[in-house]
Structure 1
Amino acid sequence: MRLGVLDIGSNTGHLLVVDAHRGAAPLPAYSYKEPLRLAEHLDAAGAVTQAGIDALAAFTAQAQRVAEDKGCEDMLAFATSAVRDAVNSDAVLAEVAERTGLAIPVLSGEDEARLTFLAVRRWSGWSAGRLWVFDIGGGSLEIAGGADEEPEVAWSLPLGAARLARQHLGAAPVDEDALRSLRKQIRADIARDAGRLLRHGAADHAAATSKTFRSLARICGAAPSGDGPLVPRAMPLVAVSEWIPKLAAMTHDELAALPGVSASRAHQILPGALVAEAAMEIFELEALEICPWALREGVILERLDQITIGS
């Protein structure tokens, strides 16, 4: 069947059209996305602004037209942390539904981590053994781990790259005091619940997903996306640590010129690197493998499993 997967993230609205059926990997057929940057369309009270709502409604309406044009039988829509954490979340989604006719459910942080874990497990296979998965989004960091397809632990932290950039960092370059303060906060937040993952035993395999991790891996020397998803990619801790002071000293234009970094996300790469470094050091990981599958694939896979069970 042909499915449309509508992902309303903290940075980007993304419609992925896929051909999917039981026993096969979801095959991307078309991609349509816009940089909504909802994590930055928040007022002082934490509400999504009217400009943010208008952008979301316009993108959703266009995504529906694209999905229809591409022959999608169904639409799997979801929103993540930017909408989830907004104080006017219900009102935002109600207005979008009224204007577009599409009800967009909100994934909990735990479900976001769980579905991402499912995608990475299916990609990595059972030979990966006990698996740990990390995902840095625009609004949150998801962590999950386990030996099966359902993680033993899965949780979310408000440590997304866009959120941290907006709340804690000014214009690039970043001064040393701001860098040290943010580094301290990130590590305290991750370490607070680290035992949830560690008490189940060390990982046999540790993986990372998301645009932030892919960009960081590219900066650290991983193969470009044009080489295809089957090329192994990894991000060593030592390389991330070496890059952090360099990133802090760069201007916005210099950051945007780095391989794998777009101008719209350039301001997020430093806080993303701080989160990645902290997670790897706290969980004693020398490197993370970059997995091309993430939350969208997890949503698709769970839907296919449900159809199979229902039949």
Structure 2
Amino acid sequence: MRLGVLDVGSNTVHLLVVDAHPGARPQPAHSHKAELRLAELLDEKGAIGADGVDRLIATLDDAVQAAEDKGCEDVLPFATSAIREAANADEVLARIKAVTGIDLQVLTGEEEARLTFLAARRWFGWSAGKLLVLDIGGGSLEIAYGIDEDPDIAVSLPLGAGRLTAAMLPGDPPEPDDVRALRRHVRAQIARTVGEFNRSGRPDHVVATSKTFKQLARIAGAARSAEGLYIQRDLSRTSLEEWVPKLAVMTAAQRATLPGVSEGRSAQLLAGALVAEAAMDLFGVDELEICPWALREGVILRRLDHLPGL
């Protein structure tokens, strides 16, 4: 069957169309995305403004039309931290449903972490052993650990690259004092969770998903996306520690010239790098592997697992 998964994230609204069947690998058929950066559109009260809601509705209309054009039998619409934590989330969701008919399901942070973990587990298989999965989004950082398809521990922290950039890095390039303050903030937040994970033992394999980690791996020398999904891409803590001070003195425009870094994400890359560096350091990770699958694939896989008659 042809499925569409409509992901309303903190940075983008992304429709992924796949041909999916139980027991088979979902095959991507079409991708439609628009950058809205909802995490940066919140007003001083933490609400999404009227202009932001109008832009979101127009973008959702375009995505639903694209899903129809591509012959999707079903569309799975969900939203993550930007809408989940907006002060006017209920009003936004009600307006979206009234205008577009889309019943947008809001995932909790823990659900995000668990679904992303499922995708990573299916990608790497049982032979990967105990997995530690890290995912930096626009609004939050998800961390999950376990040996089965459902992780033993799954947490979500408000450490997304877009959120942190908007709140704590106003300069371009940012002031050194702001960078240090953000570094302290990120490490204090992550350190609160490390003990719970450490009590479960060392992971056998550490993997990361998300555009932020993919871009960091690319500027550190990993293969281009054009070389395919099956090329192994790694990111070492040593390389990351070398890049963080370089990114800190660059403007967003300068970062956008780096390999694999898009103009729309370049402003957020430093904050994402600080989160990645802190997570790898505090969890004692010397090197991790980039996983091509993430939350969207997790949503699709869970849907396939619950098809009637299976």
TM-score, normalization: structure 2? 0.99
Q: What SS class does the counterpart of residue 264 from structure 1 fall into? A: coil
Q: Report Cα offsets for 1:83-110 as digits up to 9, x if no partner.
A: 0010101100110111101110100000
Q: Are the counterparts in 2 of residues 14 and 32 from structure 1 also a CA contact under 8 Å? A: yes
Offset at residue 196 of structure 1 (A): 1.8
Moved more, 100-109 or 248-257: 248-257
Q: Distance in 1 between matches of 2:86 and 2:2?
A: 32
Q: Distance in 1 between matches of 2:52 and 2:128?
A: 41
**Amino acid paired to 1:26:** P
Q: What residue is the counterpart of 2:280 in the other structure? A: 280
The sequence identity of aligned pairs, in percent, is 60
Unaligned runs of 5+ in 2: none
- Matched length: 310
Unaligned runs of 5+ in 1: none
Offset at residue 51 of structure 1 (A): 1.2
Q: Distance in 2 between matches of 1:227 and 1:236?
A: 20
Q: What residue is the counterpart of 2:208 in the other structure? A: 208
**Amino acid paired to 1:98:** A
Q: Report Cα offsets for 1:29-64 as digits up to 9, x if no partner.
A: 000000011001100000011111111101111111
- Do residues 185 (structure 1) and 185 (structure 2) align? yes
Offset at residue 22 of structure 1 (A): 1.1
Moved more, 295-304 or 188-197: 188-197
Q: Distance in 2 between matches of 1:270 and 1:72?
A: 37
Q: What SS class does the counterpart of residue 144 from structure 2 fall into? A: strand
Spell out the pairing of 1:1-311 with structure 2 (5 A cutoff): 1-307=1-307, 310-311=309-310
Q: Distance in 2 between matches of 1:101 and 1:13?
A: 17
Q: What SS class does the counterpart of residue 186 from structure 1 fall into? A: helix
Offset at residue 175 of structure 1 (A): 2.2
Q: Provide the alpha-carbon RMSD of the alignment.
A: 0.8
TM-score, normalization: structure 1? 0.98
Q: Distance in 2 between matches of 1:136 and 1:130?
A: 20
Q: Distance in 2 between matches of 1:211 and 1:147?
A: 25
Q: Distance in 2 between matches of 1:37 and 1:176?
A: 25
Q: Distance in 1 between matches of 2:134 and 2:92?
A: 28
Offset at residue 172 of structure 1 (A): 1.9
**Amino acid paired to 2:295:** L
Q: Are the counterparts in 2 of residues 172 and 248 from structure 1 also a CA contact under 8 Å? A: no
Q: What SS class does the counterpart of residue 263 from structure 1 fall into? A: coil
Offset at residue 176 of structure 1 (A): 1.7
Offset at residue 205 of structure 1 (A): 0.2
* Stretches (4+) displaced over 3 A: none
Q: Report Cα offsets for 1:221-251 as digits up to 9, x if no partner.
A: 1001000110000000000010011001112
Q: Distance in 2 between matches of 1:172 and 1:236?
A: 27
**Amino acid paired to 1:82:** A
